[in-house]
Amino acid sequence: MPASRAERRKFRQTVRMIAFLPLNLATIRRARGSGWLVCQHCGEHALQEVVDVMTFVRLFFYRLGVVRRERQLVCQRCGNRRRASRTEREALRTPNGSIHRAFLAPIGFIALVALAAAGTALFAGIGRTAAAPSQEWVTANGSPIGAPLSFAAPVGWNNTVVNSSSTGARAISISQETASGFLGYTVVREPSINSLATLLTVHVSDQFSIQTEGYPTVPPAASCITVAGVPAAVASFNFQNATQPSRIEMVAFVHQNVGYVVTFEANQQAEIAMLPALSQHVLTSIRFAGSDTASSAPAATASSSYTVSCVTGSSSPIERAT
């Protein structure tokens, strides 16, 4: 990647020179948003516009791939334009979450890869899918927490048995720390709670910490889905955890008078974007593998105004308002 001013000028000249050849280069600039930062040039805490500069290899006007990309900051006070360093991108304070790692999609290239993959699949003439699965899964067993069920777990993720902090109930925690954040889910068995509203109320408060901001005091209105043939209630919400954008999708259901809560949690935007696919895959994989034994005296329903009404057969899609 060209670094110095002279090198950059030379790069731009090269781009212009070959812009009209069938196989050519083109540069585009895209404003991604803005945030507040102390400007290295004028020294003021000023609004910085974030601009992505991308150079594509093109066949005529068809973008084949990105050869150069750079995230720049343009100071709205002094006009200074510079390459955004990693620390600057991370220090940038934006109103709607982080933009320092936005995905720069080389759209034409993706289309070309898809075409090539489809072509290859046709040529191979076998029933394999064109796209390789990005994630391998295994079937996890609920027996470590006394739960007669099974569910899918991504290969290579941490798999531990923990205790729920509010109720002490046993939980299986499946998670991975990613380069930027966190993605994971826990499966809790609650032998003494058989109300969807109570399960959500208790476990939403379970996740609250002094590091969270914008965290709900009561669960948001639940939507209804079906998990392993039983009605399930889903409550989803966004919040900040230690200033990082975070999201929880909590799913409660009752099987043979025993409550279950599956809590999906993502930390950072890239992980939040992966959360719907994760929850979709895990929830559709849940199977009951035997009969359950409820505690002899289920706890009374929480005396709260929060109510949930989900019945068998409801199949509305998971609500994922952001």
The site for Zn ion (CB under 5 A) is made up of 39, 41-42, 75, 77-78, 80
Using an 8 Å Cβ cutoff, are 151 and 164 in contact? Answer: no
CB of 97 to Zn ion, least distance (A): 24
The residue type at 273: A
Q: What is the DSSP string of 109-126?
A: HHHHHHHHHHHHHHHHTS
Helices (H), the chain: 5-17, 86-91, 107-124, 196-206, 269-285
- Residue 301 and residue 198: Cα distance in Å, rounded? 6
- CB nearer to Zn ion: give 40 or 243: 40
CB of 72 to Zn ion, least distance (A): 13
- CB nearer to Zn ion: give 92 or 187: 92
CB of 224 to Zn ion, least distance (A): 52
CB of 38 to Zn ion, least distance (A): 9
CB of 50 to Zn ion, least distance (A): 14
Let me know the angle formed at the C-alpha of 148 by 226 and 272, rounded to the nearest 5 degrees.
50
Q: What are the backbone dihedrals phi and psi of residue 106, each rounded to the nearest 5 degrees, phi first?
A: -85, 80
